[in-house]
A = this chain, B = another copy of it.
Amino acid sequence: MTTYSATVTVRLKQGVLDPEAQTTKQALERLGFELDSLSSVDQFEIELDAESENSARERVTEMTERLLANPTMHDYEVTLDQR
């Protein structure tokens, strides 16, 4: 068994409104900052033991699809490093 470190990046699909990011952008503007856009992304860092990189990737992808992301609203990316 090898320990892998996976990073799952979950972001809203293009066109899905993000009121929280909009509020953060407005708050920055009220503080006097100039910016064109702000979007927010959730990232999960997961450590797990697996037989192979492929099996780690499969397990993390399944975790993402079942719990971490909502495929209707989110796009996601899984990257994997061996520890």
A: residues with CB less than 8 A from B are 3, 9, 21, 24, 27-28, 31, 33-49, 59, 62-63, 66-68
Contacts and interface: CB of A to CB of B under 8 A. Distances in A.
Contacts of A37: 45-47
B35 A47 contact: yes
A47 B36 contact: yes
Nearest to A43: B41
Given A36-B47, A46-B35, A63 B28 contact: yes
B34 A49 contact: yes
B44 A42 contact: no
Contacts of A49: 34, 36
Contact of A28 (B24, B35, B47, B67): B67
